[in-house]
Every structure is written in structure tokens, then in C-alpha cells.
């Protein structure tokens, strides 16, 4: 597979060790790029829902590939999030090309960028932690149901549906919490003299510019690898919000087509 050369790639909210994780998609994405720096922007491992009985091979393959990236000389920063907060006590620890940090400020072409998971800007996490964990558990149960529904849908050649994504859109419609989150992130970037702030946490990819009394600050949310398959990349001297489109597996399609009775047509929206 031909790889795209990047200065920096930022991904967040993979949620390894959960049914919601799309480890195969993350692996395909990482194999498609050749970054000098990879930033894992929090909630990579989901310690809130971690179970010894669930860590499939696809998740293990992803971890092994990240280790290979380290061995090839890729500098990896692991920014701790709320689901992998156990790493916060290891702030600034280094192991070869891997460095664990609670936040990262990176200087590219004279422009400072703040990279943080963003849970520090979430009032629910701090004021009602039990509610956040209850929400995470409910979300996990819903993804299991969603996965069971998608298996027959995918077999028939249709695009996956994401129930929890649709529900979240309805709940956030007209809600100002997300706006307050963004404003808090922009304020933090301003205090640290950064022109850009990159967050995760909300699972909502966004790219917008906020006007402040000292100029403009760009807010980017790198989304997630549960619902949106998005990342933030630095290439061509600028940050770009990237939506990953998985390559079509022609062999799998041909095998499935051979099983379909002659004269029976399927709508290959999923391809």
C-alpha cells in the first residue's frame, strides 16, 4: 500500500478493549500514512470498560503495529485522556520513541499548537463523575446491540448504521454544552500563546476558527475511531481534518457476489 508522508498525525478515542472499537479501520489508516510524529490524543485504551475476557486479535494487531512504528523511528506522543487516566501519573515518562504526556505543545513553522484530550474542559467529568461512567456503560451496551444489527446489514451490501451516533445528534441539538467545551479549549490555547488547539473527547470532528480579543484561534476536534473514523494531519504546512475512507476489498466483494443467485441484484452502497 502506498503511504502518504506526513509531518504529524493526531488520532483519538480508539477505545481499545471495547466492542465499539474499530481496530481494523485504525490499522488500515495507520498503514496508509508515514508520519514523523504520531499523537495518540487520549482514550486509546478504555480502562473504564476494560475486561480481561475481551481483547480480540484485531486489537492486538493494532497495538503490535504501533510498536513497529516506534521501532521504525516514528516519535509517538501518548496524551492521556479520561478513559486512560491511569497514565497521568506517568506524565513526561519516556520509553524509546514513546513519550506519555498530559498535554502537548508543538511548534510547527513558528506556530504553536496545543494538543490535549479535552476532558479537563468537560464539567460532567468533574462534577458528576458517576454520570459520566454511567453514560459510558450505556454507550457500550448500545454499541454491542448496534454491532449485532450491522452484521446482517453488511452481509447484504448496505452501509453500516450507527444508532448511538444518531441518538447523540438528537441529544446535542440546541445544546450549548459543546459550545462551552470549545470556548474553554480556545481560552486554554490563548493562555498558552497557541494559535491552534486540537482536542478529542467529544467524538465530534470539527474545524472552526474562534475570534478572540488578541486575534483568531483555530479549534479542531479530531473526532474518533468509533463513529467517524477521523484524524487531524499536518501536511503542506497546515492542519487538515481528515475523514478516512476505507479501501474497497475487491476480493471479498467478488466472493460474496459468487454466492448470489443469478438475476438477484444488491445495492452495493457499503462499497
Lowest mean pLDDT, pick from 116-120, 159-163, 166-170, 208-212: 166-170
**Could you please report the per-residue DSSP string of 8-37?**
EEEE----BTSTT--HHHHHHHHHTEEEEE
| Helix 163-172 and helix 129-155, axial crossing angle in degrees, nearest 10 | 140
Cell numbers at residue 18, please?
471495547
Residue 98: DSSP 8-state: E
Sheet arrangement for strand 196-199: 104-108, 111-115, 196-199, 215-221, 206-212
Cell numbers at residue 178, please?
459543546
- pLDDT (tens digit per residue) in 195-237: 999 999 999 999 999 988 888 999 999 999 998 999 999 998 9
Instruction: Give the model's pLDDT for residue 189.
Output: 97
CA distance 24 to 28: 6
Instruction: Give the model's pLDDT for residue 150.
Output: 64
Q: What is the pTM of this model?
A: 0.76
Element (H, E) at 182: helix 177-191
Can you say whether the dihedral through the CA atoms of 214, 184, 230, 104 is positive or negative?
positive
CA distance 226 to 270: 17
Task: Please name the residue ranges forming H helices in 47-156.
Answer: 57-71, 123-127, 129-155
Topology, domain 4-258: Purple Acid Phosphatase; chain A, domain 2 (3.60.21)
- pLDDT (tens digit per residue) in 28-44: 999 999 999 999 999 99
How do the domains of the chain map onto residue ranges? 4-258
CA distance 172 to 180: 13
Cell numbers at residue 79, please?
496524551
Give residue for cell 460532567. Answer: 124
Amino acid at each position: 500500500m502506498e503511504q502518504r508522508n506526513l509531518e504529524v498525525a493526531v488520532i483519538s478515542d480508539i477505545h481499545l478493549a471495547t466492542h465499539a472499537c474499530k481496530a481494523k479501520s485504525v490499522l488500515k489508516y495507520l498503514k496508509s500514512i508515514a508520519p514523523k510524529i504520531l499523537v495518540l490524543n487520549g482514550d486509546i485504551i478504555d480502562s473504564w470498560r476494560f475486561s480481561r475476557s475481551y481483547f480480540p486479535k484485531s486489537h492486538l494487531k493494532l497495538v503490535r503495529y504501533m510498536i513497529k512504528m516506534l521501532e521504525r523511528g516514528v516519535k509517538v506522543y501518548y496524551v492521556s485522556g479520561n478513559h486512560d487516566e491511569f497514565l497521568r501519573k506517568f506524565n513526561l515518562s519516556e520509553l524509546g520513541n514513546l513519550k506519555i504526556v498530559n498535554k502537548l505543545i508543538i511548534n510547527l513553522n513558528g506556530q504553536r499548537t496545543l494538543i490535549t484530550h479535552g476532558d479537563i474542559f468537560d464539567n460532567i467529568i468533574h462534577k458528576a463523575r458517576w454520570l459520566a461512567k454511567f453514560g459510558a456503560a450505556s454507550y457500550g451496551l448500545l454499541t454491542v446491540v448496534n454491532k449485532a444489527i450491522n452484521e446482517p446489514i453488511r452481509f447484504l451490501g448496505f452501509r453500516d448504521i450507527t444508532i448511538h451516533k444518531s441518538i447523540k445528534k438528537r441529544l446535542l441539538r440546541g445544546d450549548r454544552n459543546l459550545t462551552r467545551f470549545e470556548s474553554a479549549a480556545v481560552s486554554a490555547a490563548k493562555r498558552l500563546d497557541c494559535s491552534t488547539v486540537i482536542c478529542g473527547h467529544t467524538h465530534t470532528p470539527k474545524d472552526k476558527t474562534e475570534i478572540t480579543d488578541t486575534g483568531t484561534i483555530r479549534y479542531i476536534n479530531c473526532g474518533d475511531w468509533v463513529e467517524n473514523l477521523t484524524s487531524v494531519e499536518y501536511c503542506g504546512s497546515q492542519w487538515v481534518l481528515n475523514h478516512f475512507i476505507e479501501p474497497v476489498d475487491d476480493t471479498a466483494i467478488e466472493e460474496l457476489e459468487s454466492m448470489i443467485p443469478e438475476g438477484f441484484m444488491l445495492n452495493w452502497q457499503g462499497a
